[in-house]
Structure 1
Amino acid sequence: MIKKLITFLFSGVTLLTLLAGCRGHDDHSALLTLLQDIRNRPPGTIAPLPETLTPPLVHYTGSQQPSPFKLHKEQRTPASSIGADPFTPDSVSPQGVLEQHPLQELSFVGTLQLSDDRTPKAFIDDGHGEVHKVIAGQYMGQNFGRVVKISEDTIYIEETVQDEQGTWVTRPRQLKLVMEADE
């Protein structure tokens, strides 16, 4: 019984509070004046849209023209028949630990270079709790990425990938040093 009375009183107070917020305001004169000023402004003109050019229609019959979705015979010729592809990676040599992880999983966490050593060493976190030492010339990532240069805050890598025609090409990649946020 008391619970119902408390619920009823609480509902009543909530209803009265909501209704108090909805009471009418008589001072809308500033808003009405602003709306009237906007209505009294002269109408503007809109520039016409530029004329669009319709491209010519080309009908593809399929029998008279080559398919745009298949490679032509000269494109299908393997690179090995033309000559040795200079960027073909060595897929026979055993892979290192860092070559088993995608480059996106690897984090550059630090460098070390002793005063009497000319070769800087980078430290890479493999994302699975292991930190590995890397020097220039080693490979990392699943796209035959060779470490070209190590600076204080960047590791420069050349990955070897195949393009659309199956030719091996190199592309530059970088790993930036991961900075921990101050706590």
Structure 2
Amino acid sequence: MVGACTADQEELTVWMEQQRRDVKPNVQPLVAPKKFVAAPYGGGQVVDPFSNQKLSVALKQEARQPNSLLAAEMSRRKEALEQYPTDSMSMVGSMTEPKSGRQFALLKVDSLLYQVKLGDHLGQNFGKVIRITETEVALREIVQDAAGEWIERTSTLQLQEKAR
């Protein structure tokens, strides 16, 4: 049986050599890339569309409109916790004042502890504390929807349990 396989292999080798000689590869030449012509940027004197200046002008224009949710927000003085996003804050506790019964929440931001009460403002979306319980702080925020309209939404900060 071994002898029979070797005889066919010689014929196969001859056929493969013949195929190598006869077949020529047909490779299409690559098209030369188009030359890139750089256009000079002429917007150096124009206000950057992402600048804080442009955003503040747009917010002030929005606040001037009657019935705008932003009108009251733009005219008041900013509070300390409004420079932080709400996702960087964590509620670590709550307290109730014994005499008046007023509730306070303790929020931790950048390893500092802040005490907030009803009506305080926090977060970068014009958040205002509307409810404090033992386990959460509810906020009313003013954000833009997909159509660019300013709407109110409610969000919460939950009490963070310490891992044991």
Q: Does 1:145 align with 2:127?
A: yes
Give a deviation string over 1:134-158, Cα, whole Å, max 9, x none: 0010100000000001000010001
Q: Secondary structure at the match of 1:122?
A: strand
Give the TM-score, by structure 2 length. Answer: 0.57
Which amino acid in 2 is paired with 1:102? P
Cα 1:132–1:79, aligned 2, differ >3 Å: closer, same or farther?
Answer: closer
Equivalent position of 2:151 in the other structure: 169
Which amino acid in 2 is paired with 1:161? V
Q: Secondary structure at the match of 1:91?
A: helix
Identity of aligned residues (%): 27
Gaps of 5+ in 1: 1-77
CA contact (8 A) 2:117 2:129 kept: yes
CA distance in 2, matches of 1:80, 1:180: 41
Q: Return the match for 1:100 from 73, 78, 83.
A: 83
CA contact (8 A) 2:107 2:114 kept: yes
Q: CA deviation at 1:117?
A: 2.1
Q: Does 1:124 align with 2:117?
A: no
CA distance in 2, matches of 1:150, 1:80: 29
Cα 1:80–1:149, aligned 2, differ >3 Å: closer, same or farther?
Answer: closer
Query: Which has the larger share of strand?
Result: 2
Equivalent position of 1:178 in the other structure: 160
Which amino acid in 1 is paired with 2:96? Q
Aligned residues: 103
Which amino acid in 1 is paired with 2:123? G
CA contact (8 A) 2:143 2:153 kept: yes
CA distance in 2, matches of 1:124, 1:80: 30
1:33-182 aligned within 5 A:
84-88=66-70, 89-126=72-109, 128-182=110-164
Gaps of 5+ in 2: 1-60
Give a deviation string over 1:47-92, Cα, whole Å, max 9, x none: xxxxxxxxxxxxxxxxxxxxxxxxxxxxxxx9789x6234225224
Question: What is the RMSD computed on CA atoms of the aligned residues?
Answer: 2.2
Cα 1:152–1:166, aligned 2, differ >3 Å: closer, same or farther?
Answer: same
Which amino acid in 1 is paired with 2:107? I
Q: Secondary structure at the match of 1:118?
A: coil
Cα 1:165–1:85, aligned 2, differ >3 Å: closer, same or farther?
Answer: farther
CA contact (8 A) 1:79 1:85 kept: no
CA contact (8 A) 2:91 2:160 kept: yes
Which amino acid in 1 is paired with 2:76? S
